[in-house]
Structures are given as C-alpha cells and as structure tokens.
Amino acid sequence: MLVSGVLQFHRCSICHFSRRISSFIGQSRMSSSHPVAALCQMTATHDKAANFATGARLVEEARAAGASMVFLPEGFDYIGSNLQQTLQLSESLTGDTITRYSELARKVGVWLSLGGFHERGENWETKQRIYNSHVIINEQGDIVSVYRKGHLFDVELTGKGVSLKESAFTIPGPALVPPVQTPIGKVGLAVCYDLRFPEHSLALQRHGAEILTYPSAFTVATGTAHWEVLLRARAVETQCYVLAAAQVGPHHAKRSSYGHALAVDPWGTVLSDLGATEPGLALVEVDLQKLRDTRRDMPVQQHRREAEYYGSLETD
C-alpha cells in the first residue's frame, strides 16, 4: 500500500509483479503531489539480454505507476563470473546497452539513473581496463552526465569470504561531477563503495545536491554490517534524500549481493527497504519542501566552520 509517500512491492515472477503494480497505478498517481522516484532491485548475471529484459520491465512498470525517474543498481548491465568475462562483456557508452536504455527512456518518457556500467577505458585494445560508470539519461534519451567511480573496492576481509581488488581491472574516476537537475530534484552521483567516504557526499551537497544516489552491489558481509547505517548517516549529515538501488541474491556460484535497496529521507528516516530475497521496486515521493524544512530547522550547513578550523590539527 501507499504509506508515507512510499509504494513498494516485490515479485516472485515478472507476470505476478506486473499484475500487482497495475492495481496500484491509479492510487499512486492520485496520492502523490510530489515527483516520484522508482528505486529498483535486481539480480544480474552474465546474461546481458536477460538483464536488459528485467531492467526494461522495471522501468516500464515504474513509469506506468507515475515515476519520473528510475534508479537501477550497480551492475545493471551484467555481473561477470570471472575477470576475463567481466572485461570481455564491457562496452563503450555508444555500445548496445546504453543505446537500448536511451531508446527505452525516450520511448516511455522517463529519466534513468544507470549506476555501475562497465565502460571500456581509453586505449582499450592495449590496456584492457574499465571504468565503473554512473550514467544519467534524460527523457529524450540523451546522456546528460557520466560519473566514473572514484573509490575502488580493494578489500580482503579474512574470515568473511570477501576478497576483491577492483583496482586490478578498473580505472579510478578523475573527479566528481556536479549534481544533475532532474524532474525529482538535483541528484548527486556516486557508486557503491563511494558511500563510505563522507567527503564525497558533503562536496555534492555543497554544490546543490538534494538527492544522493548510491547504486550498489554490496556483499552480504559488508551489507549486513554497514549498509543501512551508512546510508542513513549520509542522509543525516547532508540533509538530503538518499536513494540506493541494489543487487540482491546470487549472481553466480561465488558471488551474492545483500539487497535491501533503500530510500532515506533528509531526517534519516528509512522510507523503503526492498529486503534481502527478491527483485522488485519501490515508488518514493520526493518532498523537497520537507528537505527545505529540515535544513531550516537544523541549519547544519550554516553552523559548519571554515576550512581552516577543520584543518587546525594538521602540522607541517
């Protein structure tokens, strides 16, 4: 049901999913006086065609329910079974995957946040390295912003079954990109592991971000320990909405994702949690007046001291 500006549901199959959302379309449109974002959860594999079919259905159903912007998770294009496959399946921004999503956005008239796209880097034939890119596409099908993930997940958690060195095949992005004006507000871009760096979110907030988005494929171990608390912290410290689309469940024999795609309001209240078992989506009203009221009532950014104050512990 629609509660506190959120309509969410899961699906055991695409057909069942479609029937459930169809019954809610009228209610969601009548209930919402604010722009609506759709937060998606999926289970990608190496099968790019199947992944696109799932992503396209989610986008189409979200748009039919009144969403003006749809957020897909990191690895929406695919999650490879090994390094060789991960590199082999990568594409450029002019390749088939982004082209198909651009056509979809234009056809249904919706903005897309495509986080964690495997983008081939410069001098691909000789270097064989990729970017982990967050692509924003408008309702005309145009790419309006590309952020390349700056913080790479090089982690070895002994005893927890987590071992990944993203820098072995991924190029760190050179810089943040300005928040993007969208139908739901100004969206600041990040990807997954960027979530752990508050400097990133604070910089985006200072440059006008009203919504922060963290498309992710968190591991089960790190997600269980840190996912919700980090997302809520980013919302509280920036007084922004936080939207985090997520991968869920097993991608192949050696990798599973935590799920729990999450929407958080500027007060730190969790608006939606899509759980740990099934793909699905949530519709979230973005109330920018609530954001302004939160910032007015607790003017954290006005209370922030000058840069020299925070650097006063530094020594030459």
- Encoding tokens for residue 31? 């209930």
Check if 127 is active-site.
no
Q: Which residue has the tokens 């986080």?
A: 115
Q: What sign results for the dihedral spanned by CA atoms 201, 203, 206, 207?
A: negative
Name the residue among 160, 164, 153, 152 with its Cα closest to residue 82.
164
Whether residue 192 lies in the annotated active site: yes
What is the helix (H) or strand (E) element at residue 31, kind and residue range?
A: helix 25-31
Q: Nearest CA to 8 among 17, 231, 59?
A: 17
Options 119, 192, 240, 285, the catalytic residue: 192
Q: For residues 214 and 244, is the Cβ–Cβ distance under 8 A? A: yes
Cβ neighbours of 70 (radius 10 Å): 29
Indicate the Cα dihedral angle 253, 87, 168, 244, nearest 10°. -70
Antiparallel, parallel or unpaired: β 2-3 and 185-189: unpaired
**Do residues 95 and 135 touch, judged by C-beta distance below 8 A?**
no
Q: How far is CA 159 from CA 99, 218, 256, in A?
A: 42, 17, 16
What dihedral angle (degrees, nearest 10) is formed by the CA atoms of 64, 65, 67, 71?
-90
Name the residue with tokens 């871009």.
Answer: 189
The catalytic position among 149, 186, 278, 285 is 149
Active-site hit among 74, 119, 139, 285: 74
Catalytic residue positions, numbered: 74, 149, 192
